[in-house]
Amino acid sequence: MALHNNYARWNQAIVQWATLGVPHGTPVYLSVDEEVLASLGLGPVEDFCQAVRAQVVDGQRVQLSTLQNQSLPEPAGVAFLALMVLAANDMVRDEELDERDFFTHFCQRLGVGGDTRPTGMKAGDEEGLWQEWNQWLEVKGWIATAEPGEGPRRYLNYPISQTLLRKADIQKLCCLFYEKNWTTARSETKLLVDLASEKNLNRHLEELLDDRQRHEVLGAEILAVHQEWLDAQCPKPEQFSRRPPTCLIAGLYRTEDRWGNPEYYPYPKVPRRWPVAEVTVENLGSLRCERSGWFFPVGAPLSAADLTTGKSWPIRDHAHLRELQLPARDFWVLVPDPENPESSALASWGAPKLGSHFTVLFREALWLDLQQLREEKLLQWEGDRQLAFEVTSGWWEIQECQVLAPVWDGLFLQHPELKEALQPRDRLHIALGGGLRVPQGQGWLEGHLPKVTVYGFQPTVAVTLTEVRTGSIYLPEDHRSTNQPWDLPADLPPGTYQIQVRGGTAHQERFLKILSWGDLSLASLE
Amino acid sequence: MSKKSSRSEQTYWGFRTHTSRYKPQKLLNYLQKRVTQENLADVVSHVRIEKGIKERSRGEYYFYLGIKTNARSDWSSTQNTLEQLIKTVRGISIVRIRREGFCWEDIRHMVGIAYELERDTQPIEYFQVKRPPKVNPLGLETPIAEAAGSDRSQPCEQLLWWLSAAGSGSWETFQAVCSHLDLVQPRRLWRRLQLLGHLLAAQDGQHWQMQPPSLQPVSKNCYVLYGQRNASLQESLQQFGRLVKIPQPRRDAPPCWQLELQADAANAIAELRTKYPALAIRPVEAPPPWADWVATLKVVDWVPLHRYRLKRYDGSSFVDVPDAEETGFYELYEEGSQQQHALFYDRQHNAWYSAEWYSLRFLALTHLAPKNLSVSYDPNAQELSIPISQRWPLAYERYLVMQSGCLPRYNRTTEELIYQNIAPTVWQVIGEQLPFFDLEK
């Protein structure tokens, strides 16, 4: 049975909202609340609930089978899952975490009676929808984040794991910005560090800040709220409402000139969750989309002074964007291209992954902190620090940096933002290196498979390799050494595979798509 | 800063805990939060915990705070704040073990780094990254790799399919894909693909872009396909005519796909375009007049000559020269680096120019001995020959290659490159655009 039109529209809009402007290789959260749903332009939240109800409820009975076997470009169950997250947000507002409470809110939203699982929706029936959503994200190149809990909270944890900033949290943040007079622009890391030292946060915000795995996305969300608050001229909390951003933020893109000297370019980010069409920047021209989350680097190489003081360029004739801004920073962490690791380009593509190498561009004042990290055997790099510009600029680089150890908690730096940026967020990381990638990050070509390296702090991990469609297991609980590359079975046929890794209490999974030469399509050329 | 000097600025406060429940990791997390909240990160540099506590059954353990006593001028109030902070740890009894601080030597055998707290964990060893040496895409590998009887047509075709799927990319990506497919001398292959019209490279050679699928007419109802292609396009083309795959002379590039249309060309193209909107008949354009081409050369703003040893092309080889005094084609070598640069120096304008290697060599020849430049044309065989030592700039050589979709044959006896399917009109265009040749000869 085909999806109802209204449901399909909500489903598609929510998928687009969740992934718009999110760079590949970074986590995606289905963190919808009433405000988000209202902002989609499809009607009030009640219409959304009604659309889900009409799709999956027959009388008082839930029928999730209506979401299965739909041939859509995106998973059909996302709007239903969004309603679960909405209920989880309702529940978190009460700061109670029990199953009955969740289902009370869930049933209310769904328009069925009761405070337990509704009729027709047995324990775990929805898990397949979460897994389908996770798989779709991973195959597209994002990191899935919905995960089960332990014991009786196994299924309840899926929607709870998706809740990020709720309305109450945003209000709390604005209170803090206002009371503490945070009226100048700050980086994600500075905001996270400053918030971590605040004593009067609500429980949900504290929990979010305690979960380092969420910091990358949380930092971006908090930065967006802070930027919107600044754009609104720092209003009182009760007068603040969310609105489209007025400035585009640029990261940094590093290449080398023909003589081997580093060059840094402004690298504009696509704003998360706000569709941006044509953008023309004065003196830099029109911005072109390079990849999910990023425009192409623009302009001439930046000077040391540009990095020190930041720089902005006016945006012409745009509905809400006014300027492109390169923020002033004391340091930049530049990582290799996640979609094209052979390239020597480095950029602000995200936090360094465990086991990966990266470059830190920093001002002189951070040198003592970096040396301390090396002395404590937490961080290592190759050779000496290198001048980034002329001697007097005060900007340096350390190259081929690598995190060595997991526990940074006992260390206090003069610049805690540096620690926030470099401290590993995961205990395990599955890296796929080498082989022949299918262009546009769509997987690998058969016969040219990547090597797998699981980076982690245990000597060994248990690895399972499963073909997703058939469920065929190619590696059953195979124990492998960490931090050593190993080959996949050479004769893996085209398909989608799931690599699952367990080490101690940590768990990671990654999807791997293998295509045949005949599957290669022609790229559309501009 | 050395390890010794950094430690000499700090002292350690020692503490003993009495509990079996308060795990060291929990203590660390707590201290981390409180030190940040109290803004004491400049005073407390780190925490060290007694080694081997997991193996013991008793619950008490020692820990030490690394303190920088000279970080604040108001040391006594800072000290009070710190002592208060320790007292606020709930659910655990903590006793300071002596009033004076310890030095590093006192405690170093007793404490470990934080990750030793957890059994079965180990640091990740630092590993060196082996990055391939940087290669200038505008240079050339010498000598040309011998085919040695191996047919590279298939991996070259795979390379072309891969590039077609990517659409555009960097020189480094191109190199990496060649390496995965065991294709040697990527810079020569890069040039061959440009000669065949499949891709265009940026002037600095750092990026490439595929051409859309295009048909170049080579005779009546017969076309050569250049630009993007894949398995699906091959299948579609075969529905409208006979698709012949002609291997390149040295089998070191993708075969020429020649399509003999059996249907009306306009109808066939219209139908193909429903599936491949970018596909079109695109006859190759004539190259620019020589003076215009010279004017397009990229000027290099700054050359750090002090870093390089120079060699200048003398018409047959490169010879060492102390500096760039004369107009000519130079190669720049840096001690200890595999990367070299090929640039053309124009003394009159005191300017350095960059372009692909053969273009600059030809430019040099036009300055050194323009009368020695030669070309011959056989109108009956419709073949054009030039000495291999005078290979033309890419823009002009591509015009010749695209007439047939095939790279030139090499005649070892005459040391000439021979281009096919060169119509008299093409020969005439050459004469107009390259003023060095007397076509009447």
Query: Residue B45 and residue A260: Cβ atoms within 8 Å?
Result: no
Query: Residue A357 and residue B129: Cβ atoms within 8 Å?
Result: yes
| B408 contacts: CB under 8 Å, gap ≥ 6 | B249, B400, B401, B417, B418, B419, B420
**B64 and B143, same domain (yes or no):** no
Query: Residue B123 and residue A407: Cβ atoms within 8 Å?
Result: no
Q: What is the pLDDT of residues A420-430, one digit of tens each?
A: 999 998 889 99
Query: Residue A343 and residue B173: Cβ atoms within 8 Å?
Result: yes
- pLDDT score for A499: 94
- CB contacts < 8 Å between A and B, how many? 183
**B158 and B237, same domain (yes or no):** yes
Residue B441 lies in a domain: no
Is any Cβ of chain A less than 8 angstroms from the Cβ of B176? Answer: yes
Q: Which residue of B has its CA nearest to A506?
A: B121
Residue A116 lies in a domain: yes
Mean pLDDT within A273-278: 76
- Asked which of A160, A192, A214 is the last residue of a domain, the reply is A160
**A403 and A255, same domain (yes or no):** yes
Best B3, B26, B46, B275 member to test A by mutation, with max A CBs in 10 Å, is B46
The region, left, alpha or beta by phi > 0 then psi within -120 to 50, assigned to residue A511 is: beta
Of A403, A404, A412, the CB nearest to B46: A412
- Asked which of A217, A239, A261 is the last residue of a domain, the reply is A239
- Cα gap A47→A6, rounded to integer Å: 9
Residue A300 lies in a domain: yes
Query: Residue A439 and residue B49: Cβ atoms within 8 Å?
Result: no
**A32 and A67, same domain (yes or no):** yes
- pLDDT score for B115: 39
- Cα gap B177→B158, rounded to integer Å: 10
**B144 and B69, same domain (yes or no):** no
Chain B residues 103-142 within an 8 A CB cutoff of chain A: 113-115, 117-118, 120-129, 131, 134, 136
- pLDDT score for B8: 40
The domain containing residue B165 runs over which residues?
Answer: 133-283
| A110 contacts: CB under 8 Å, gap ≥ 6 | A49, A52, A53, A56, A57, A62, A83, A118
**B153 and B256, same domain (yes or no):** yes
**B54 and B82, same domain (yes or no):** yes
**A39 and A136, same domain (yes or no):** yes
Residue B189 lies in a domain: yes
**A349 and A414, same domain (yes or no):** yes
**A213 and A265, same domain (yes or no):** no
- Cα gap B245→B250, rounded to integer Å: 14
Of A410, A455, A504, the CB nearest to B124: A455
Residue A315 lies in a domain: no
**B388 and B345, same domain (yes or no):** no
**A496 and A442, same domain (yes or no):** yes
Q: Which residue of B has its CA nearest to A400?
A: B129
Report ipTM for this prediction. 0.83
Query: Residue B124 and residue A372: Cβ atoms within 8 Å?
Result: no
**A33 and A143, same domain (yes or no):** yes
- Asked which of B50, B85, B116 is the last residue of a domain, the reply is B116
- pLDDT score for B123: 84
Query: Residue A340 and residue B41: Cβ atoms within 8 Å?
Result: no
- pLDDT score for B6: 39
Is any Cβ of chain A less than 8 angstroms from the Cβ of B18? Answer: no
- pLDDT score for A268: 96
- pLDDT score for B1: 31
- Asked which of B283, B307, B334 is the last residue of a domain, the reply is B283
Domain count within chain B: 4
Residue A321 lies in a domain: no
Residue B121 lies in a domain: no
Query: Residue A458 and residue B121: Cβ atoms within 8 Å?
Result: yes
> Which chain A residues contact residue B28 at CB under 8 A?
407, 409-410
What is the model's pTM? 0.84
**B111 and B155, same domain (yes or no):** no
**A432 and A418, same domain (yes or no):** no
**A11 and A75, same domain (yes or no):** yes
**Amino acid in the structure at residue A273:** R
Domain count within chain A: 4
> Which chain A residues contact residue B353 at CB under 8 A?
none
Chain B residues 22-61 within an 8 A CB cutoff of chain A: 25, 28-29, 31-33, 35-37, 39-42, 44-49
The two beta strands, A495-503 and A346-347, are unpaired
Of B47, B122, B161, the CB nearest to A457: B122
The domain containing residue A505 runs over which residues?
Answer: 428-525
- pLDDT score for B54: 60
Residue A229 lies in a domain: yes
> Which chain B residues contact residue A482 at CB under 8 A?
124
Count Cα neighbours of A121 within 13 Å in the Cβ-side half-sphere. 27
Residue A417 lies in a domain: yes
Has residue A2 got a pLDDT over 90? no
Chain B residues 210-229 within an 8 A CB cutoff of chain A: 210, 212-213, 228-229
Chain B residues 240-279 within an 8 A CB cutoff of chain A: 276, 278
Residue B230 lies in a domain: yes
Burial B247-274 (b: 16+ CB within 10 A, else e): ebbbebbbbbbbbebeeebeebbeebee
**Amino acid in the structure at residue A514:** I
CATH code of A467's domain: 2.60.40
**B319 and B254, same domain (yes or no):** no
**A266 and A234, same domain (yes or no):** no
**A257 and A406, same domain (yes or no):** yes
Of A342, A345, A525, the CB nearest to B176: A342
Q: Return the sign of the alpha-carbon dihedral for residues A347, A353, A356, A358.
A: positive
- pLDDT score for B2: 32
**B305 and B421, same domain (yes or no):** no
- Asked which of B55, B89, B116 is the last residue of a domain, the reply is B116
Residue B350 lies in a domain: yes
- pLDDT score for B20: 62
Is A254:A359 a contact under the CB 8 Å cutoff?
yes
Of B42, B162, B164, the CB nearest to A414: B42
Residue A314 lies in a domain: no
- Asked which of A399, A422, A445 is the last residue of a domain, the reply is A422
- pLDDT score for B223: 96
Query: Residue A525 and residue B31: Cβ atoms within 8 Å?
Result: no
Residue B99 lies in a domain: yes
Mean pLDDT taken over chain A: 90
Residue A319 lies in a domain: no
Per-residue pLDDT of chain B (441 residues; tens, 9 = 90+): 333 333 346 788 999 887 666 777 778 778 877 787 777 877 887 888 887 766 555 568 888 888 887 777 788 888 888 888 888 877 778 888 888 888 877 887 787 654 344 444 678 999 988 877 788 888 877 656 555 568 999 999 999 999 999 999 999 999 999 999 999 999 999 999 999 999 999 998 999 999 999 999 999 889 999 999 999 999 999 999 999 999 999 999 999 999 999 878 889 999 999 999 999 999 999 999 999 999 999 999 889 999 999 999 999 999 999 999 999 999 999 887 777 899 999 999 999 999 999 999 999 999 998 999 999 999 999 999 999 999 999 999 999 999 999 999 999 999 999 999 999 999 999 999 998 887 665
With CA atoms as reference, report the closest residue to A7 among A37, A41, A48, A35. A48
**A79 and A205, same domain (yes or no):** no
Mean pLDDT within A301-315: 96
- pLDDT score for B280: 94
**B140 and B264, same domain (yes or no):** yes
- Cα gap B232→A19, rounded to integer Å: 30
Best A411, A422, A513 member to test B by mutation, with max B CBs in 10 Å, is A411
The region, left, alpha or beta by phi > 0 then psi within -120 to 50, assigned to residue B122 is: beta
Q: What is the pLDDT of residues A475-526, one digit of tens each?
A: 887 889 999 999 999 889 999 999 999 987 788 888 899 999 999 999 998 7
Residue B288 lies in a domain: no
Residue B111 lies in a domain: yes
**B137 and B110, same domain (yes or no):** no
| B106 contacts: CB under 8 Å, gap ≥ 6 | B12
**B195 and B264, same domain (yes or no):** yes
> Which chain A residues contact residue B169 at CB under 8 A?
340, 439
Q: What is the pLDDT of residues A119-163, one digit of tens each?
A: 999 989 999 999 999 989 988 888 899 999 888 888 989 998 898
